[in-house]
Amino acid sequence: MMVSFTLNGRKQAVDVEPATLVADLLRETLDLTGTHIGCDTSQCGACTVLFNGEAVKSCTMLAPMLEGGTLMTIEGLAGSVGSNHLHPMQEAFHQNHGLQCGFCTPGMVMTAVAMTAKNPKPSEAEVRHGLEGNLCRCTGYQNIVASVLAGAAAMTSPIGSSEAAE
């Protein structure tokens, strides 16, 4: 079946089997491998993407559900602020060492972007609660939380918010 949606700011139409998972569509058909598959059971959050601005686990979403919607992956996040810049949340993860092996990082970043869109100035407790659906096997949570707080601050600063608007 044909599915039309916006992917990372560009119109996309793909012919998919109705039972195709969005995670598989991204990785196997569209060659967007930044979205990781860690568990296939929606437990780890490594496959988190933004669908219509909401953080969703792409391993539990069927491709036909994308019809008419807007999907943002980790690859498109930096593109939302210009090709030569990281998104403020990505930069915060880099500056605050919010990754160790990096496997969970795309899902953490996408969850953090959605979380801070709803709550631009989260407390540490709110960040910890907001990340509950994402697991880090390296146990790097302290730096991840610090990264989300720094990313939220950068996104609400005049420089960070102007970059995010580009």
Pinpoint the residues of the chain covered by CATH 3.10.20.30: 2-77
pLDDT of residue 162: 44
Query: Can you tell me the distance from the alpha carbon of 36 to that of 81, in angstroms, rounded to the nearest whole number?
Result: 22
Residue 63 scores a pLDDT above 80: yes
Mean pLDDT across the chain: 91
pLDDT of residue 144: 96
Residue 90 scores a pLDDT above 80: yes
pTM: 0.91
| 78-165 to CATH, choices 3.40.50.300, 1.10.260.40, 1.10.150.120, 1.10.10.10 | 1.10.150.120
For the domain spanning 2-77, the CATH number is 3.10.20.30
Residue 11 scores a pLDDT above 80: yes
Neighbours of 18 (CB within 10 A): 9
Q: What is the pLDDT of residues 96-152, one digit of tens each?
A: 999 889 999 999 999 999 999 999 999 999 999 999 999 998 887 999 999 999 999
φ and ψ of 62, to 5 deg: -85, 145
